[in-house]
């Protein structure tokens, strides 16, 4: 199933953590990384003082169920020293399932599409690099980016995946 994952990091060597997350995902027998967005620098989300983030979105193909994929990304986060100490706090790596085919899931531990997707330019702008559809929830990505009101918090970088 075509799936989009948002990645973010703002601790240590953030580019390294993004690359390691993608490599580990691609090594999984039921996941193929199809494309990667550019890497963007973004202001932190929420009220916790912290460094800026590097953010990206990747498009994958997977045969995992949504909850199996959630376990996989949580295991990868743990392998990359992710600690959940403060909500919206700094992190070595954050991997969110933002879209998974046409699925709509709302359980206590997993909501797809991600409930905040249309409010976060740090997801929408990199998503635009790899998203294969024209519309998301009835609007174009450009419309959602404009409505988010925070597109100016997302900046192109010279960071590369190489």
CATH number (domain holding residue 135): 3.30.70.560
Domain count, the chain: 1
Asked whether residue 161 is assigned to any structural domain, the reply reads no
Query: Counting Cβ atoms within 10 Å, is residue 137 exposed (0-12), middle (13-18) or buried (19+)?
Result: exposed
Asked if the model's pLDDT at residue 35 lies above 80, the reply is yes
Is 162 inside any structural domain? no
Name the residue range of residue 143's domain.
2-156
| Contact in structure between 26 and 34 (CB atoms under 8 Å) | no
The verdict on whether 94 is a catalytic residue reads: yes
Of 87, 91, 129, 155, which is the active-site residue? 91
- For 65-120, write each residue's pLDDT tens digit: 999 999 999 999 999 987 666 666 688 999 999 999 999 999 999 999 999 999 99
Q: What is the pTM for the complete model shown?
A: 0.93
Q: Sort 95 into a burial class: Cβ within 10 Å, 0-12 / 13-18 / 19+.
A: buried
Pure H helices in 2-153? 14-27, 66-79, 121-130, 141-148
> What are the Cα distances from residue 162, in Å, to 39, 141, 159?
11, 27, 9
**162 classed as catalytic:** no
Has 43 been annotated as catalytic? no
Answer yes or no: 120 catalytic: no
Kindly report, residue by residue over 41-62, the tens digit of the pLDDT.
999 877 777 899 999 999 999 9
Of 119, 121, 118, nearest in space to 153 by CA: 121
Catalytic residue among 38, 82, 120, 155: 82
């Amino acid at each position: 199933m075509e799936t989009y994952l948002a990645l973010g990091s703002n601790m240590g060597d953030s580019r390294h953590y993004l690359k390691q997350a993608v490599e580990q995902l691609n090594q999984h027998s039921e996941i193929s990384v199809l494309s990667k967005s550019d890497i963007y620098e973004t202001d932190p989300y929420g009220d916790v003082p912290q460094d800026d983030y590097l953010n990206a979105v990747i498009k994958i193909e997977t045969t995992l169920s949504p909850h199996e994929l959630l376990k996989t990304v949580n295991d990868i986060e743990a392998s990359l020293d992710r600690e959940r100490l403060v909500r919206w706090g700094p992190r070595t790596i954050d991997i969110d399932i933002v879209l998974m085919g046409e699925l709509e899931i709302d359980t206590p531990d997993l909501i797809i599409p991600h409930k905040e997707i249309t409010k976060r330019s740090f997801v929408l702008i990199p998503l635009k690099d790899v998203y294969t559809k024209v519309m998301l929830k009835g609007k174009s990505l450009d419309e959602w980016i404009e409505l988010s009101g925070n597109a100016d918090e997302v900046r192109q970088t010279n960071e590369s995946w190489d």
